[in-house]
Chain A
Amino acid sequence: MHVGGEVDVRSAYCAASVASLTNILTPSLFAGTAEWIARCQNWEGGMGGVPGMEAHGGYTFCGMAALVILKQEHLLNLRSLLHWVTGRQMRFEGGFQGRCNKLVDGCYSFWQAGLLPLLHRALHARGDPALSMAHWMFDQLALQEYILLCCQCPAGGLLDKPGKSRDFYHTCYCLSGLAIAQHFGSGDLHNEVVLGVPENCLQATHPVYNIAPEKVARAVMHFLQYPVPSLDPA
């Protein structure tokens, strides 16, 4: 993650995000990375921080998103991943837990629910006829209920669960999760599912980078103007 720091799948995602947006992504930069990430998937179907670790929502998102960027999602067992992540939505609360048998947490509204658009796209590319053309494979309304009813701080900002205090991290990821739950697909296939008044509707977020899709497009266009830098000294 930083020089002398820990090594885990998050850094792969950070690197892939930055490299792809700034047009410095080369095969040699990520040689072997996709295979290593795939090894983080375990018997549960989700992914851990490094190969061998317990499946965890945050790490799973980072791993999957990184593989999407590297165009290597097929290295994963997508079925068992789908089975694992859908099992993480809590039947009573509507929000998501980070790991099996743990409590719900607002931030997993993004890390876990955010996996479903990625999976949808990957399975669609394989021509899976069972895929819906209107909804993600999780209960979008139930998640929105959890976020809006349980995760808002009366003084502003959002949080993990009732009783916890607000912070920027939870505010960011609760809102990101809300955006994912409200917007299916894009362009011709865009389908909005908004709980409550229409004013509740947020702007859509990019399911890989979690910034506005227009910003992704502009960044990519901007950096495509420049050549890919080489590693050789000038």
Chain B
Amino acid sequence: DEIGLIPCPEARYNRSPIVLVENKLGVESWCVKFLLPYVHNKLLLYRQRKQWLNKDELIDITCTLLLLNPDFTTAWNVRKELILSGTLNPLKDLHLGKLALTKFPKSPETWIHRRWILQQLIQENLPSLATKGNLGTAPVERIHRLVQEEMKVCSEAAGRYPSNYNAWSHRIWVLQHLAKLTVKVLLDELSSTKYWVSMHVSDHSGFHYRQFLLNSLIRRTVTDNSILVRNQMVNEQNPSLQKEEEIAGTEAACAEEQSMDLPRCLDEEMELCSELIDNYPGHETLWCHSDESLSNSHHSPATSHMAQAMDVDGLNESSSKQGYTQETKRLKRAPVQDSLGPEMEYQFVDKVLSTCRDVDQARFATAYRKWLVTFLGQ
């Protein structure tokens, strides 16, 4: 379940450089300078059609290559061809990638290949799937398991390299394309990453992920509300359509349930920020996150449905992201009368300023206070 290089500059004993202990694979470093050029050359000769390799040899060679250097695109592409021809089980490549990531947690080519595999799997256009590994489970369940596994792989890779852009980007991609950004998945991810970000307070990518989750939840609520409002409008025109009303009724219940969660999520996020800022002085990421969370919670759409419906029509028509930047949010939505929020923030910042001894912390707190004044206009 893990690979690594054992620093060992010279072959001391006449034995294999491969070491396997407790399911972890080690390769003694002295052999790499022989092994890598050898397999690399073999693959290139095959690609240039100067030397034939059969399917099993190809699988072995590419596997070796990729565990030594997973950014070798050609090797991944050879495996793509094997998968498309039905000779190689794509799930094996997910496992190979996972293994490569234990040593190379950023490897861009590994993540890219992974996305290709996942796309193939959800499109279900591979001949090998019909016969292997499927066991006839329902597609929804299979996708759910794939998503959970991806979350785990991303989390481990994120832990192996600070601010691992590629790992977190992949995580976002999986939610967008496999999990379809359902409310349940977004809330689950919020709770399961809470502990992780508390343990990695300078990991900007981790906190950005939480912003992505919260923004997706906000967008979800806004879209659901607009469906609700449109249905209400339809109802008003056709009071005799019972079925419509029922649908509107259940959607109202859903929307309310979701909109009840949203302010609480945003409040919890602010609490998390404040707690982490107190415990770990001087981390710019936490203050950035705090800025944005406060901005979101102050302009939460959950509290004024009708106004949001108008905005949503406009937002849906233009496909630009303008609607979600801080500036236009302020312009489009009237601030909610919530006297508790800003008061608490001022108290929090003033407390930090009076008690902190870390220079950076003081600087961030001062900047935050200035921002509060501009933003809240008080």
Judge whether A64 is part of the interface by a CB distance below 8 angstroms: no
- Size class of the A contact interface (CB-based, 8 Å): 20 to 34
For B108, B208, B285, B292, the residue with the greatest tally of chain A CB atoms inside 10 Å of its CB is B208
When distances are taken between beta carbons in the complex, the residues of chain B under 8 Å from A52 are 172, 176, 212
Judge whether B211 is part of the interface by a CB distance below 8 angstroms: yes
Q: Are A43 and B165 in contact (CB under 8 A)?
A: no
Q: Are B325 and A35 in contact (CB under 8 A)?
A: no
Of A38, A44, A51, A99, which one neighbours B322 at CB under 8 angstroms? A38
For A42, A54, A77, A99, the residue with the greatest tally of chain B CB atoms inside 10 Å of its CB is A54
Q: Are A75 and B163 in contact (CB under 8 A)?
A: no
Judge whether A126 is part of the interface by a CB distance below 8 angstroms: no
**16 sample A-B contacts, Cβ–Cβ < 8 Å, listed by A number:** A4-B77, A6-B108, A35-B320, A38-B320, A39-B320, A40-B321, A41-B321, A42-B324, A43-B295, A50-B169, A52-B176, A52-B212, A80-B325, A100-B284, A101-B203, A101-B285
Provide the bound-state CA to CA distance between A99 and B292, in Å.
16
Question: A4-B80, A4-B116, A50-B169 provided; 10 other pairs, C-beta below 8 A?
Answer: A5-B73, A6-B108, A6-B115, A41-B321, A42-B324, A54-B165, A80-B325, A80-B327, A99-B163, A99-B205
Q: Would you list the 9 A-B pairs with minimal beta carbon distance, nearest first?
A: A39-B321, A54-B208, A101-B285, A101-B204, A100-B204, A77-B325, A6-B112, A101-B284, A101-B202
Q: Are B288 and A100 in contact (CB under 8 A)?
A: yes
Q: Are B322 and A53 in contact (CB under 8 A)?
A: no
Judge whether A56 is part of the interface by a CB distance below 8 angstroms: yes
Mark B193-217 against chain A: 1 for CB-CB distance below 8 A, else 0: 0000000001111001001100100
Q: Quick one: given A43-B211, A44-B288, are A101 and B163 in contact (CB under 8 Å)?
A: yes
Judge whether A164 is part of the interface by a CB distance below 8 angstroms: no
Q: Are A54 and B320 in contact (CB under 8 A)?
A: no
Q: Quick one: given A54-B168, A77-B327, are A35 and B319 in contact (CB under 8 Å)?
A: yes
Name B164-204 residues within 8 Å CB distance of A.
Answer: 165, 168-169, 172, 176, 202-204
Mark A1-43 against chain B: 1 for CB-CB distance below 8 A, else 0: 0001110000000000000000000000000000100111111
Q: Interface on A for B, CB 8 Å cutoff?
A: 4-6, 35, 38-45, 48-54, 56, 75, 77, 79-80, 99-102
Q: Quick one: given A54-B204, A99-B163, are A49 and B169 in contact (CB under 8 Å)?
A: yes
When distances are taken between beta carbons in the complex, the residues of chain A under 8 Å from B211 are 43
Give B323 Cβ to nearest chain A Cβ, in Å.
Answer: 10
Q: Are A54 and B321 in contact (CB under 8 A)?
A: no
When distances are taken between beta carbons in the complex, the residues of chain A under 8 Å from B172 are 52-53
When distances are taken between beta carbons in the complex, the residues of chain A under 8 Å from B326 are 43, 80
When distances are taken between beta carbons in the complex, the residues of chain B under 8 Å from A48 are 169
Provide the bound-state CA to CA distance between A43 and B291, in Å.
10
When distances are taken between beta carbons in the complex, the residues of chain B under 8 Å from A75 are 320, 322
Provide the bound-state CA to CA distance between A86 and B9, in Å.
46
Q: Quick one: given A43-B215, A99-B165, A101-B284, are A51 and B325 in contact (CB under 8 Å)?
A: no
Residue of B nearest to A59 (CB): B165
Judge whether B283 is part of the interface by a CB distance below 8 angstroms: yes
Residue of B nearest to A100 (CB): B204
Q: Are B321 and A102 in contact (CB under 8 A)?
A: no
Provide the bound-state CA to CA distance between A80 and B115, in Å.
32
Q: Quick one: given A54-B205, A56-B165, A101-B204, are A43 and B285 in contact (CB under 8 Å)?
A: no
When distances are taken between beta carbons in the complex, the residues of chain B under 8 Å from A101 are 163, 202-204, 283-285, 288
When distances are taken between beta carbons in the complex, the residues of chain B under 8 Å from A5 are 73, 112
When distances are taken between beta carbons in the complex, the residues of chain A under 8 Å from B325 are 41-43, 45, 77, 80
When distances are taken between beta carbons in the complex, the residues of chain A under 8 Å from B203 are 101
When distances are taken between beta carbons in the complex, the residues of chain A under 8 Å from B168 are 54
Residue of A nearest to B176 (CB): A52
Give A105 Cβ to nearest chain B Cβ, in Å.
Answer: 12
Provide the bound-state CA to CA distance between A75 and B102, in Å.
40
Give A135 Cβ to nearest chain B Cβ, in Å.
Answer: 23
Provide the bound-state CA to CA distance between A107 and B116, in Å.
30
Provide the bound-state CA to CA distance between A48 and B322, in Å.
15
Give A5 Cβ to nearest chain B Cβ, in Å.
Answer: 7
Give A60 Cβ to nearest chain B Cβ, in Å.
Answer: 13
